[in-house]
């Protein structure tokens, strides 16, 4: 848990450069994995947050120009969220930041120990996590 907290703290500090919260970055990553878009209610499910909270996250991302809302082609009463080109670019930068934050925290370990830690965590957490 302490390791996870250190990685999250380093990640949050790196994200502050773009004024992106960790929850917003998670939403961006979820949307990046769904190029056809996602309804806000499904985004809430993916993020395990209340639908109202997902709407607030989507509103903030849309205000920054990273997310676009459009009518759902299968149900015009609903909306679909998709990333804008700027949002896709930001997701790429965020992935780099996540990787660097993890590397920064784990830099105290030699490469062999990092590989061993990765193997252990893969077994404990499971590969699909």
Q: How many CA atoms lie within 13 A of 93 on its CB side?
A: 13
Domains in the chain, CATH or no CATH each: 2-125 (1.10.10.10)
Cα–Cα distance between 11 and 27 in angstroms, integer?
15
Phi, psi (degrees; rounded to nearest 5) at 20: -110, 130
Question: Over its length of 129 residues, how does the chain's per-residue pLDDT go in tens digits?
Answer: 787 888 788 778 878 888 888 889 999 999 999 999 999 999 999 999 999 999 999 999 999 999 999 999 888 889 999 999 999 999 998 888 888 878 888 888 898 998 898 899 889 987 655
Q: How many CA atoms lie within 13 A of 103 on its CB side?
A: 8
pTM of the model as a whole:
0.78
């Amino acid at each position: 848990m302490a390791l996870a907290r250190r990685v999250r703290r380093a990640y949050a500090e790196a994200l502050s450069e773009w004024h992106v919260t960790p929850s917003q970055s998670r939403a961006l990553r979820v949307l990046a994995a769904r190029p056809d878009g996602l309804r806000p209610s499904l985004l809430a499910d993916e993020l395990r947050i209340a639908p109202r909270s997902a709407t607030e996250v989507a509103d903030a991302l849309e205000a920054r120009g990273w997310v676009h809302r459009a009518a759902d082609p299968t149900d015009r009463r609903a909306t679909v969220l998709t990333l804008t080109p700027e949002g896709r670019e930001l997701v790429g930068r965020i992935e780099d930041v996540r990787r660097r934050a993890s590397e920064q925290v784990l830099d105290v370990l030699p490469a062999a120990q990092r590989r061993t830690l990765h193997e252990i965590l893969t077994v404990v957490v499971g590969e699909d996590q």
